[in-house]
Amino acid sequence: MKLVGIAGSVEDHSYNRTLLKFIANHFSDMVDVEILDIQDVPMFNQSDDQTDGEAVQYLKRKIEGADGVIIATPEHNHTITAALKSVIEWLSFKIHPMSGKPVMIVGASYYDQGSSRAQLNLRQILESPGVDAVVMPGNEFLLGDVKQAFDDQHNLKDDRTISFLKETLGKFIKFVKVINSMNKKADDDDWQSEDLNATGSVPTTIKGLNMHAADWVDQATAKTNAVTGNTYVRLDCGVLTVDQLNYFLNSMPMELTFVDANNQFLYYNHQTDAKNMSASRKPAQVGNPLADCHPKRAIPHVKQAIHILRTGKTDLFKLPVPSNGDKCDMHYYQAMHNDKGEFQGVNEFVLDILPIVKYYLGLTGQKLVKDPNAKTDAVSGASSKATTPKPDEVSGASADTDEAPVEKSEAPAVDEVSGASAND
C-alpha cells in the first residue's frame, strides 16, 4: 500500500515532519509512506491562480497516485498553520485530488494536549464541500511534550506510544482498503461517461469545423495557417521540416495513430491504402470523433479502453490480432502525457511481430516448439496464464494479461482505434 505524508509546517525543523519520517521508517514493513514537502507552495490567492504551477501540480499527482494520506499538523493558536490551510485551498479550488481520499490525522505539539484543537479544525476543513476527503474517525494520535518525545536519532522513546501509533496505523490501513474498495465500486461504471463524440474541447482543439468533413485536414490547415513543406519545426530533441517529419513517420515499420484527449482522431501515418493495412484507415476519416470510427457494438469497449488510459489505471495495454498464420499483428494502446503528467490522448501503434520472431530464430538457430503445459487462447492461439483474456467482439483480439498492468475486469476488448466502418 502506498501512502503520502504531509507535514503542515514550513519550518526548517518540524517535529511533525520528524513524526512522519518516524512512521515511514519504523513501520516500513507495514506500508510505504512518501513524505511530501509544502515549502514551495505559494499562499493561496484566487486572483493569482497557481493551480497549474509545478508545486501544486506535484502535490496533486502524488496524492492522486496514493492509496491514502497522513497529515501531521502542528497547532497555532488553536488551529492548523496558515501554510497547511493554503495548501488545502489550492487542492480544493479548481482541482480536487483529496475527494474520496482516505486521510489519517496525527499531530505533535509542545504541550500536554498535543494538537487536539488543530486536529479538530483540520478534520472540519477536510470534510468540507470541495475538499471532500474521507477522514478516519476516532483513533486520534496526539503527541504532547514533543521536545522530550524523540531521542537523538529522531526515534520515539516511549514503547507504549510506539505501540499505540502502530495500532492506529494498522486501523488506518484497514480503513484505506475499505474506502478504496467502496470508491472502486462507484468508479466501475465511470467509463460510460467517456465522450467518444468529442463534443468537448481541449486546448489544441480546432473549433468551428465539421469533424465529419472528408476534407477536415484541408479545412484545419487553412483555419490554423498550419505550416507545410520545407518549414522547420522545433521538436524536443531536433529540428525537422514538415516534409522530413512526414518522411520519418511514414517510414516507421508500424502503423501509428494519434487520438487527442478530446477523443478526436487527428492523425495516422499514411503508408498504404486502407485495404493493405492491419488497422484500416482512410484520409477522409481524419478529424472524426472516435464514435464514428467504430461499429456501435464496439463502443462500450472503446470507452473502457480510453478511460483506463485517461485515469491512469494503466499507461499501456496490448491486443494480439489473430490471422491465418502469415502475420501476427500486435495492437498497442499507449497513453500520452505532457511534461506535467496530464493525459493528452492515445497513441495506437500496430506492428506485425512475425518477421521479427522469424529473424530472431534464424539468427540464433532456434525454433519454436509447442509447450505441452500451455493453455492456448481458443481465439488467437496465444498462450494464457491465469485466465483466458476476453476476445474482441469486433476483431477477435484478446487482451494480453501478461504485459498490460490492468486487472482482467479493467482490460477492455477493443477493435482498431480508427478501424473504419460506419456505425451499424
**Which stretches does DSSP call E strand in 353-398?**
375-376, 383-384
* Amino acid 121: pLDDT: 92
As a whole number of angstroms, the distance between CA 22 and CA 417 comes to 49
In the chain the domains, ranked by start, together with CATH numbers, are 2-187 (3.40.50.360), 193-225+251-384 (3.30.450.20)
As a whole number of angstroms, the distance between CA 352 and CA 255 comes to 10
Measured CA angle at 145 (ends 143, 149), to 5 deg: 75
As a whole number of angstroms, the distance between CA 360 and CA 71 comes to 54
Query: Which cell goes with 186?
Result: 462507484
List Cα–Cα distances, 345 to 56, 276, 306, 413, in angstroms.
23, 26, 8, 18
As a whole number of angstroms, the distance between CA 390 and CA 397 comes to 8
Torsion of CA 27, 91, 334, 402, to 10 degrees: 30
Instruction: Note whether 334 and 347 are within 8 A (CB).
Output: yes
Instruction: Give the three-state DSSP class for 33.
Output: strand
What does the radius of gyration of the chain's CA atoms come to, in whole angstroms?
27
As a whole number of angstroms, the distance between CA 68 and CA 63 comes to 8
In the DSSP assignment, the letter for residue 341 is: -
As a whole number of angstroms, the distance between CA 205 and CA 213 comes to 15
C-alpha of 293 from chain center:
25
One digit per residue, the tens of pLDDT, for the chain of length 424 reads: 999 999 988 888 889 899 999 999 999 999 999 999 999 999 999 999 999 999 999 999 999 999 999 999 988 888 899 999 999 999 999 999 999 999 999 988 887 776 888 889 999 999 999 999 999 988 788 887 888 888 988 899 889 999 999 999 999 999 999 998 887 765 667 888 899 999 999 999 999 999 999 999 999 999 999 999 999 999 999 999 999 999 999 999 999 999 999 999 999 998 788 888 888 888 999 999 999 988 888 888 889 889 989 988 889 988 887 666 678 888 899 999 998 889 999 999 999 998 999 999 999 999 888 888 766 543 333 333 333 334 343 333 333 333 333 344 445 555 444 443 344 4
Point out which residues pair with 334 in neighbouring strands. Answer: 316, 347
Phi-psi region of 345 (alpha: psi -120 to 50; beta: other; left: phi over 0): left
Ordered DSSP codes for 302-317: HHHHHHHHHTTS-SEE
As a whole number of angstroms, the distance between CA 245 and CA 197 comes to 29
Q: Are strands 238-241 and 68-72 parallel, antiparallel or unpaired?
A: unpaired
pTM of this prediction? 0.53
**What residues have CB less than 8 Å from 386, skipping those under 6 apart?**
401
**What residues have CB less than 8 Å from 18, skipping those under 6 apart?**
108, 150, 154
Amino acid residing at 255: E
Query: Quick one: 251 exposed, middle or buried, by C-beta within 10 A (0-12, 13-18, 19+)?
Result: exposed
* Amino acid 323: pLDDT: 67
Torsion of CA 20, 24, 27, 33, to 10 degrees: 110
End-to-end CA distance of the chain: 45
